[in-house]
């Protein structure tokens, strides 16, 4: 069976980092068809739109998408709908990518990069599953109006609407339970059920889905407590599942625990496990074209692609072990360099991962 992978490098360091991830994917001996297309600012320059029809069609016809990053300050004055970032929103919408996976992993070799004490974070390996297409970010109605009652009656007010439909909560809960089954089988659902009706509803649905996963231990935590526990004892979590708003904040908090933005992969999946895989960082225009960007977040995103969209768990683990091995050898790109280690370029890091795969 041939797996079809769309490679969308994007802007800035995008092509440098996806090049290395493509080399890794191509070296695994799998039957892969990798096809590239422009996205973001690069696509705007070539076709007048950040997500041209030809790129979207390629993405839709693929089993998975390997995405670099988009954005550059030179596009800041474009109309909002033509900005590079719109490409990601367009792909999420067109492909129905409702489940966002953000692992926060801190390799023991990089423990000093975290602002937390090494004993609290070294060896951290947690996964945040964030619902991506619902919640207060998309709820209607929203806008500004004149308050009709309450202590501020007659004043202008801004308002948004938080809601989750039952099937929306069920599908993200299933994805999260299944992710937990592939890990330590512990799932913590984060909400604000003591205050929000939407959260109590979320919690009730998650509890009902849990009956189908007796092997997974389910717990619940209020979001304010979760924010505290993530910095107090982050290793106590395995998988966290939460809504769009809380997940937005907690996933960035968890990412920062590792201190190495160049190391963090991410994935966004739909109901048929088609997914978009990208590093958590942006296009880093400040270092583009210098062959110094860290390609490991993108290589680790390729590992997630193997695991979640292609169901090639052994190959995913093989890529992750190769990354671990190059860190063990003391190889570091500039962003994670420390005294005593060996500084390497983007392509040299790719070379080293390829060698470690053998």
Which CB sits closer to ligand NAD, 198 or 280? 280
Active-site residue, selected from the candidate residues 33, 93, 224, 355: 224
**Residues β-bridged to residue 241:** 129, 189
281 binds ligand NAD (CB under 6 A): yes
Q: Does 294 bind ligand NAD (CB under 6 A)?
A: yes
* 183 Cβ contact partners less than 8 Å away, ≥ 6 residues apart: 127, 238, 239
Instruction: Give the burial class of 347: count Cβ atoms within 10 A of its Cβ; 0-12 exposed, 13-18 middle, 19 or more buried.
Output: middle
**Residue from the set 65, 106, 216, 293 that interacts with ligand NAD by CB under 6 A:** 293
Site string for ligand NAD, 206-245 (x = CB under 6 A): ----------------------------------------
d(C-alpha 238, C-alpha 125), whole Å: 7
335 is catalytic: no
Active-site residue, 72 included: no
Active site residue 11: no
Q: x/- string (CB under 6 A) for ligand NAD, residues 174-193?
A: --------------------
Residue 262 contacts ligand NAD per CB under 6 A? yes
Nearest residue to 104 (alpha-carbon basis) of 113, 91, 95:
113
By beta-carbon proximity to ligand NAD, the closer residue of 216 and 296 is 296
Catalytic residue among 185, 222, 235, 248: 248
Where in 47-86 is the site for ligand NAD (CB under 6 A)? 69-72, 85
Backbone angles phi, psi at 115, to 5 degrees: -80, -10
Judged by CB under 6 A, does residue 9 bind ligand NAD?
A: no
The DSSP line for 138-194 is T-SS-EEEE--SSTTTTSEEEE------HHHHHHHHHHHHHHHHTTTSEEEEEE-TT
Q: Which of 22, 129, 1, 12 is nearest to 65 (CA)?
A: 22
Which residues does the annotation mark as catalytic? 137, 192, 224, 248, 252
Would you tell me which residues interact with ligand NAD (CB under 6 A)? 13, 69-72, 85, 88, 261-262, 278, 281-287, 293-294, 297, 335
């Amino acid at each position: 069976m041939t797996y079809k992978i769309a490679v969308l490098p994007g802007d800035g360091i995008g092509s440098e980092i996806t090049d290395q991830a493509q080399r890794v994917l191509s070296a695994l001996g799998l039957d892969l068809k990798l096809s590239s297309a422009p996205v973001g600012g690069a696509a705007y320059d070539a076709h007048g739109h950040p997500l041209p029809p030809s790129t979207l069609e390629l993405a839709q016809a693929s089993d998975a998408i390997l995405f670099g990053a988009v954005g550059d300050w030179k596009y800041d004055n474009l109309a909002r709908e033509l900005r590079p970032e719109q490409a990601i929103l367009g792909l999420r919408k067109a492909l129905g990518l409702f489940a966002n996976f953000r692992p926060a992993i801190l390799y023991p070799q990089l423990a000093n990069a975290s602002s937390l004490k090494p004993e609290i974070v070294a060896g951290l390996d947690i996964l945040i599953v964030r619902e991506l297409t619902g919640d207060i970010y998309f709820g209607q109605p929203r806008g500004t109006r004149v308050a009709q009652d309450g202590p501020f009656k007659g004043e202008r007010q801004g308002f948004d609407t938080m809601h989750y439909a039952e099937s929306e909560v069920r599908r993200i809960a299933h994805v999260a339970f299944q992710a937990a089954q592939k890990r330590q089988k512990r799932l913590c659902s984060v909400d604000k059920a003591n205050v929000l009706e939407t959260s109590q509803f979320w919690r009730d649905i998650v509890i009902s889905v849990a009956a189908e996963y007796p092997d997974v231990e389910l717990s619940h935590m209020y979001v304010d407590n979760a924010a505290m526990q993530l910095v107090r004892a982050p290793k106590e979590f395995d998988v966290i599942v939460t809504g769009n708003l809380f997940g937005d904040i907690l996933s960035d908090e968890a990412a920062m625990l590792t201190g190495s933005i160049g190391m963090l992969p991410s994935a966004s999946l739909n109901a048929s496990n088609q997914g978009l895989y990208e590093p958590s960082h942006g296009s880093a225009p400040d270092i583009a074209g210098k062959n110094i960007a860290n390609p490991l977040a993108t290589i680790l995103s390729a590992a997630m692609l193997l695991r979640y969209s292609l169901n090639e768990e052994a190959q995913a683990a093989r890529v992750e072990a190769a990354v671990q091995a190059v860190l063990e050898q003391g190889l570091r790109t500039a962003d994670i360099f420390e005294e005593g280690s060996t500084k390497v370029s983007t392509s040299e890091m790719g070379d080293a991962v390829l060698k470690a795969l053998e």
